[in-house]
Amino acid sequence: MRLNILFGWTLMFCCGTALAEAPSTQAAAAGSADTAATTADGEDQAMVELGSQMQAAYRNSLGPVYLKLRESAQPRDWMLASQLFLMAADDDPTFGNAARAELLRNAAAAAPEDALVQWTAMVAMPSVVAGGCAAPRAAPANLDTVLRLESDNGLAWLPVLDQAWRSKDALAVDSALARIAAAPRYDDHSLEYGRLLVKLFRDNADSLQQLGAALEVPMDPVQYGLALSQNAVMKPMVALNQACDRKRQPDADARRFAICADIGQRLLHDGRTTLLRHYGDQVLQAAGAPDRDEAEAQRREIAWLYDAISDGDIATSRRFAELLVRDGDELEVLRQMVRERGIPTTPPPTWQPSAREHVEIDDGEDEAAAAASED
């Protein structure tokens, strides 16, 4: 079986929600056999029915977990409840975005010194405005609290950069980039958050098994928890790619892109997940950094390492995830697992990644195009 680990998760995320890929893939395969006899209306109806089935599966399995967390006295439990994917309508009074956003706001208000709760409230607040993922973003309500707790965390300044970029304030953009570059650490909290989610799904393994049975997809608590933990990191990075895009800003001061290159190198070296390291490569590319040999070598190494363990079973996947939770550095965990197989950790000079290793990352092109059309 293809090993599902971090870069190859079968979950895609948007605005704090996830859509399981496997059931829709099965539906597409089933539908293709009847293409000649199926009208567009019929296909639409099939998708509606599939959505209803998935909604029921998530609600029946994870709904009780959500309600239990909601009734807890612990702000971190409210935070976790706010991030559970339940496929509810936005206006659902119990499970919808408004209800989950209120839970997360309450968690942030009750735990002003908890950096993880504050971070989650900043980057993963369920959307309650018209337009969903495409809606204009205001500055997070708790941004000042996050910066008070983590002014030394470069990634905490990404919302500041986002607001400066949207305001087309060049000086503020450069100031935010300088803050990010000068910060001593880059922490997206995904591993700390992942540990909580893994414990949650282990403690509620029966609910996760029920979900897996309904979707006809194996659900492992460790894998599922770490997959959800990657949700929040992607959106804040969009502004960084936009602000560092040299091709779209031919008249910008060259010093901006030198700072961007420094940030890209930091992400490449200091990112504890391959996703953050991948963003480092993207920022270097956007900034037109002249020397990307190290980034290219790392990209090939990561693809090679994943390929080397891609024939693993669920036990291999579980070991990977548990090592990541324990050790906290995805690249080092990959190297360790490959060494245990007696395989070199660096690819042969002629080896090239296969097409399946390619991962699409939101670089903000759609948002940039939309912004340009408004001007």
Work out the percent of the chain whose per-residue pLDDT is above 70.
80
Give me the helices (H) in 287-364, please.
293-308, 314-327, 330-340
Q: What is the pLDDT of residue 24?
A: 38
Compute CA distances 68 → 16, 166, 200, 222, whole Å: 20, 39, 11, 20
**Average pLDDT score, the chain:** 82
pLDDT digits (tens, 9 = 90+) for 241-285: 999 999 999 999 999 999 999 999 999 988 888 889 989 999 999
How deeply is 221 buried, as exposed, middle or buried, from its count of CB atoms within 10 A (0-12, 13-18, 19+)?
buried
Compute CA distances 254 → 258, 286, 292, whole Å: 7, 13, 18
Compute CA distances 357 → 8, 319, 323, whole Å: 8, 21, 22
Q: Are strands 11-14 and 17-20 parallel, antiparallel or unpaired?
A: antiparallel
How far is it, in rounded angstroms, from Cα 241 to Cα 244? Answer: 5
The residue extents of the domains of the chain are: 6-127+143-374
How far is it, in rounded angstroms, from Cα 223 to Cα 204? Answer: 14
Q: What is the pLDDT of residue 4?
A: 43
Helix (H, G, I), strand (E, B) or coil at 128: coil
Helix (H, G, I), strand (E, B) or coil at 58: helix
pTM for the full model?
Answer: 0.79
Question: Do 274 and 302 form a contact (C-beta atoms < 8 A)?
Answer: yes
Is it the case that residue 218 has pLDDT exceeding 70?
yes
**Single-letter amino acid, residue 51:** G
Is it the case that residue 55 has pLDDT exceeding 80?
yes
Residue whose C-alpha is closest to residue 134's, from 359, 290, 362, 350: 362
User: What is the DSSP annotation of 277-307?
Assistant: HHHHHHHHHHTT-S--HHHHHHHHHHHHHHH
Per-residue pLDDT, averaged over 65-78, amounts to: 98
Is it the case that residue 224 has pLDDT exceeding 90?
no
Question: Do 90 and 96 form a contact (C-beta atoms < 8 A)?
Answer: yes
185 phi/psi in degrees, rounded to 5: -145, 155
